Structure 1
């Protein structure tokens, strides 16, 4: 809590502030130590508002006219962080990318709410191990622990307000940051508790365990893109859908038998509770991505799910992405031929993926030169498998790596180059072969897919 003490003290020393009432614009500026790229990009929700190139001293400045007050986030790839801006603010940051969040400090008009949000973010990270242990407690004891932590954060907010009263909207953000973070722990509790104690069924909870749910606003446009709020929405939708499915689908022991039914319960619940367009679209997308990428259901169930999705969210702004994913998954169902993609070999020649896999037992795996440790682990695993299965060809497909860097990696690690190929079209590769998660592989026989969602570390 040192940073909060510091900026509360600093606020007492400030004699006056810029008159914000008549201002229509705001300034956002700062210095980036050890920059990882040349730009700072400022977003409002999903829209780029402005960007600035760092000068020779690694500093930047943005003037924001006709400001829409509320939450923004700035991106200095590959990192990003929230900021809150109001008209009349002149907010300055300083950070070192080698310790991005921990080194970030806000100063100037608007620093109070921003330093508070940042300090809360860092505190929540520190509390995670402690809260993870709390999940072993019985419900009443768990509630008392979480409520105590939550109240301690409201006390800090109260102390901040004594020296720097916040606007109504800023105060709403600060309170929501606390509430939805701790409410999320309650939504996760029954599942974490069961897993930690090895119980067969969900623990029975008192009628007031979820008492805070009465105050939940499912359509707050000010919070739609605020991570604590959005995360909470995914947790409560998952929790309530699970309980509904376990009850209505008659699965017994508080468990669900059908991932299709469970995810259809999610769609139904979002449809009934959430009316705010952006949040609604994003939550529907979250369910679709989770189901299609992680469940690996059969073709009939996939069809049933996507039909339900279209009925409830046919005008979703992510619909093209979801349809592409669905089509890609349907194309790599067991029994289908592998999609025919153009790849490149180490000599720079084009080759056909379908042609190279015909008549052979194949395992396709994927890697990128941007993740050295992942490649080292995968390469070691492939060598182990190849030694046991001499008749199987383990073919590596590389992406997001330039030709020279790719061939250099293969040479340095002594990889069998005739079984290595590269795609220079990441979007096409992703849509066609759904390269998720990192350790995914595709097992094939005679050019026919056996399992497009195998795990390299689960193979024998």
Structure 2
């Protein structure tokens, strides 16, 4: 072949490959076996990028003009998982919802890092029981165990990096997951050790126990929605708040009796340490949700909300926090049940106010995706019915497709007159503050007796 022609062909092929690599367009798709919903939703942080509907073969696809490179997550009701995307990616997945995480496999560009992130996620789940046993060890021995696990994971990542070409961003995410998971164990150690050993005070720690804190990045834009990093921040701030209060607040350290004081410390620490807006807002939200759902005295809740507004009045979650605050105030004893419409087995709308009239009622909650919880809850309710025949126990179903709810009521032979379906979980959550799966609402003739009871511990 003429050399000039050969060089020209090679040049064209190289140019095509270069153009393909530089293309910002991204394809992400795959197949979901035994789908639990018709849709897959792709997120970047808490922003929905796109929604794809499954076709007749249970396949979906997203075709994006470009992406903000880094960690994303996809949601297929009621599960979600991470996916790392970069410009020009063409990535596919396959999973079976019966074993969502365990069956998930990625293929295509950025296949290595996505499968590695998934492997680390599954490994961390398997390690939880082992780590819990380690908490009884002395600090030096505990550190050796945790560092050994961390070293194995880092070696695995380095081996992957030598075999596959990972971008700097992919390496950073993968390494951060390993490091911050390890840091979580160190932050949690003093409290679990005290509990496991039955000690009266926090164990003395070696001076180098928290040396890793010098490397903490409090404002990493790409990690603020990454579970290991975010969970570390929660543990870390809780630890700092406790230790800070222990040194400077004397008797106030009895957190169980003074949740307000402890959470005031958390608010102040977030305000002083965290500057990245999304992480800051999310951590403020976490403290507020955690505190408000512990149902402290109404006057303490008012103090907390006032300080929360002073430090985070423009929080992206402010509407949710204010709604939770208002909902808790509306569920105080001696107040009427709030207005909420639910559906009976014939599809008729019924107000929970009417369901509570002229009788003593305990409302409880269940969801089809949580099969074990459903089984345990029905078993518990049947026991309570025998023990407290003066009460009517009414089940409110949440986050379940109507046909599936109907089928479960039939198959489980539940009393249809005591089972009701809710259409919009957000409405139920905001009105009745449904965050604790074992929650019970005790009423008498439509008047609240205890809106924050627990079906296992309150009877």
Q: What is the CA distance between 1:166 and its match in structure 2? A: 2.8
**Inter-partner Cα distance in structure 1 for 2:302 and 2:452:** 18
Q: Secondary structure at the match of 2:221?
A: coil
**Inter-partner Cα distance in structure 2 for 1:372 and 1:258:** 36
CA gap 1:104/1:358 in 2 versus in 1, 3 angstroms: closer
Please give the root-mean-square deviation of Cα atoms over the aligned residues, in Å: 2.9
CA contact (8 A) 2:29 2:59 kept: yes
**Inter-partner Cα distance in structure 2 for 1:260 and 1:72:** 35
Which deviates more from structure 2 when the two are superposed, residues 57-66 or residues 427-436?
57-66
Q: Secondary structure at the match of 1:30?
A: strand
Q: What is the CA distance between 1:187 and its match in structure 2? A: 0.8
1:82 maps to 82
2:73 maps to 73
Task: Write the deviation string for residues 322-343 of structure 1: whole angstroms up to 9, x where unpaired.
Answer: 1111100001112322224344
CA gap 1:451/1:248 in 2 versus in 1, 3 angstroms: farther
Q: What is the CA distance between 1:402 and its match in structure 2? A: 6.9
**Inter-partner Cα distance in structure 1 for 2:406 and 2:50:** 38
CA contact (8 A) 1:246 1:254 kept: no
CA gap 1:202/1:380 in 2 versus in 1, 3 angstroms: same
In the superposition, the TM-score normalised over structure 1's length comes to 0.86
Q: Secondary structure at the match of 1:222?
A: helix
1:14 maps to none
1:433 maps to 432
CA contact (8 A) 1:333 1:449 kept: yes
1:242 maps to 242
Pairing of 1:166-185 with structure 2 (within 5 A): 166-185=166-185
CA contact (8 A) 1:30 1:59 kept: yes
Q: What is the CA distance between 1:421 and its match in structure 2? A: 4.6
Q: Secondary structure at the match of 1:204?
A: coil
**Inter-partner Cα distance in structure 2 for 1:32 and 1:419:** 35
2:142 maps to 142
CA contact (8 A) 2:360 2:391 kept: yes
1:298 maps to 297
Q: Secondary structure at the match of 1:217?
A: coil
2:386 maps to 387
1:452 maps to 451
Which deviates more from structure 2 when the two are superposed, residues 234-243 or residues 52-61?
52-61
CA gap 1:250/1:335 in 2 versus in 1, 3 angstroms: farther
Pairing of 1:12-27 with structure 2 (within 5 A): 19=18, 22-27=22-27
1:288 maps to 288
**Inter-partner Cα distance in structure 2 for 1:360 and 1:38:** 41
- Counterpart check, 1:209 vs 2:212: no
2:108 maps to 108
CA gap 1:18/1:255 in 2 versus in 1, 3 angstroms: farther
Q: What is the CA distance between 1:171 and its match in structure 2? A: 1.9
Which deviates more from structure 2 when the two are superposed, residues 77-86 or residues 171-180?
77-86
CA gap 1:337/1:218 in 2 versus in 1, 3 angstroms: same
Task: Write the deviation string for residues 208-264 of structure 1: whole angstroms up to 9, x where unpaired.
Answer: 111101110100001111111111111101111122233333138876641111111
Moved over 6 A (4+): 402-405
CA contact (8 A) 1:363 1:444 kept: yes
Task: Write the deviation string for residues 21-73 of structure 1: whole angstroms up to 9, x where unpaired.
Answer: 63333333434444444444322222222344445544444433233211122
Q: Secondary structure at the match of 1:251?
A: helix
Q: Secondary structure at the match of 2:209?
A: coil
**Inter-partner Cα distance in structure 2 for 1:266 and 1:456:** 30
1:261 maps to 261
CA gap 1:106/1:249 in 2 versus in 1, 3 angstroms: same
CA gap 1:446/1:24 in 2 versus in 1, 3 angstroms: closer
**Inter-partner Cα distance in structure 2 for 1:341 and 1:380:** 26
Task: Write the deviation string for residues 86-123 of structure 1: whole angstroms up to 9, x where unpaired.
Answer: 22333333334333333333333322322222222222
CA gap 1:344/1:36 in 2 versus in 1, 3 angstroms: closer
- Counterpart check, 1:337 vs 2:336: yes
Q: Across the two proteins, how many residue pairs are aligned to each other? A: 443
1:6 maps to none
